[in-house]
Structure 1
Amino acid sequence: MLFGKLLPREGNFFEMFNAHGKHIAEGARAFQSMVQHYSDETLRAKYSAEVDSAEKQADRITAEVNRLLHKTFITPIDREQIHGLINAMDDILDLLQDSSEVMSLYDLKNVSEDVLRLGEISVRCCERVQHVVSLLPQLSKPSVAEAALKTCEEIDRLESDADRVMRSAMSKLFRDNIEVRELIKLKAVYEHLESISDRCEDVANIVEGIVLENS
């Protein structure tokens, strides 16, 4: 019993989830700005650096959450849910950064309308992720729990939208007369961008489980 009393209780996990969610939304908006100003190398570099900065700041929060898990005796929600949620959130920013790097490393010359569309869906997904994790501290309120589940449904629908856009984009790639190297580059970018919404859906699935167990 003494051992339990000496160890921290609760921790500030919800605050860290919220801070991480803000970095996800910031990184997504920076990525979309980079895509929108892709032809301007100066702005492209500026927004790419903002994506990197958001990812690094989120990484520090992820490490702190995992460290705190080992020091906290009683957590506000299940330990596995905390671990799974923060790492799923971190995967989103990792993919945003990877997408930015792929476009640079592959020396993509121009972005297509489908890249812009997938970027827009990614931003909306990421903003929904930020919103839903901000609701976690108040899940005991039925109205908040309901709002969280509705937001998870929105993320699921956006993920389906991203799937449809990517399938259409892939069809165009192989149907239109596109130079082979550009085809390979765009295919890789499409796959990375579609994966962002997949990772947002992973977060939504975890949050749904938390809501159902704790509301």
Structure 2
Amino acid sequence: MFKRFLPRETNFFDFFEDHSAKCIEACRELLDLFSDGNNFSERAAKIQRIEEAADLITHRCTEALHKTFITPIDRSDILLIIKRMDDIIDFVNAAASRIVLYEVKEIRREARELAEILVEATTEISKAVRNLRDTKNAHSIQESCIAVHSFEDRGDAILKAGVVRLFREQDAIMVIKWKEIYERLEKATDRCDDVANILEKVVIEST
């Protein structure tokens, strides 16, 4: 949006698109980790590498923002979008690392379902940020945001069911482990919802 005002050497939409691709990649790796039953350490290490690459994109975006006088959308929105997307990967990485750290042997059904939700939600976020370049795409952006909100609602329902089932278990240590993992997955879905909220705000202000 308002692309003509953007300095040629800095394109914040490129940062958004690159980072959203990393979000999808990390969430797909998490789903593979939860579905495979093997190679937990290898997959968690790959997610860690994706997280590090995403951090670099965030740093470059933030650095460019400090050097750019005129931005295509509000400066605070640029910062929030890139930071909240980075949070998604941070929490995905935190969930994956705890699978390894806590030596989890069996993945719970709700964790796989939440990972599926994250793949779907980040895919919609990626669509939305790709459409952000042109105000004519406002309707498509809003549709993607509505889908993300729906995924977040489904994630909440899955999480509640998972926690209820978890607390019926007799193994207190396992309950503690999975409670922490679920909390990270919940925060990741919440951050997807946050990104959608910011994108909706950008659309409203730019149309």
Same fold? TM cut 0.5: yes
Deviations 1:6-26 (A, max 9, x none): xx8362100111011101101
How far residue 181 of structure 1 moved from its aligned partner, in angstroms, is: 0.6
Q: Does the alignment pair 1:135 with 2:131?
A: yes
Match for residue 49 of structure 1?
Answer: 45
Identify which range, 125-134 or 60-69, moves more after superposition.
125-134
Q: Does the alignment pair 1:9 with 2:2?
A: no
Match for residue 205 of structure 1?
Answer: 197
Structure 1 segment 161-176 matched on structure 2, within 5 A: 161-174=154-167, 176=168
Q: Structure 2: 5+ residue runs without aligned partners?
A: 1-5
Equivalent residue in structure 2 for 1:183, among 167, 171, 175: 175
CA–CA distance in structure 2, aligned partners of residues 177 and 94 of structure 1: 29
**Secondary structure of 2:133's partner?**
helix
CA–CA distance in structure 2, aligned partners of residues 31 and 181 of structure 1: 23
RMSD between aligned residues: 1.3
CA–CA distance in structure 2, aligned partners of residues 136 and 49 of structure 1: 32
Deviations 1:108-163 (A, max 9, x none): 1211111111111111111111111111101x21xx10010011011001101011
Q: Does the alignment pair 1:22 with 2:21?
A: yes
How far residue 46 of structure 1 moved from its aligned partner, in angstroms, is: 2.6
Q: Which amino acid aligns with 2:166?
A: L
How far residue 45 of structure 1 moved from its aligned partner, in angstroms, is: 2.5
Structure 1 segment 31-50 matched on structure 2, within 5 A: 31-38=30-37, 40=38, 43-50=39-46
Structure 1 segment 70-149 matched on structure 2, within 5 A: 70-138=66-134, 140-141=135-136, 144-149=137-142
How far residue 178 of structure 1 moved from its aligned partner, in angstroms, is: 2.9
- Give me the TM-score of the superposition, normalised by structure 1: 0.89
Contact 2:26-2:47 at 8 Å conserved across structures: yes
Misfit runs of 4+, over 3 Å: none
Q: Which amino acid aligns with 2:164?
A: S
CA–CA distance in structure 2, aligned partners of residues 186 and 163 of structure 1: 16
CA–CA distance in structure 2, aligned partners of residues 190 and 82 of structure 1: 29
Q: Structure 1: 5+ residue runs without aligned partners?
A: 1-7
Q: Considering only CA atoms, is the larger Rg found in Structure 1 or Structure 2? A: 1
Contact 2:44-2:100 at 8 Å conserved across structures: no
CA–CA distance in structure 2, aligned partners of residues 91 and 177 of structure 1: 31
CA–CA distance in structure 2, aligned partners of residues 76 and 183 of structure 1: 47
**Secondary structure of 1:137's partner?**
coil
Identity of aligned residues (%): 32
CA–CA distance in structure 2, aligned partners of residues 67 and 27 of structure 1: 24
Match for residue 5 of structure 1?
Answer: none
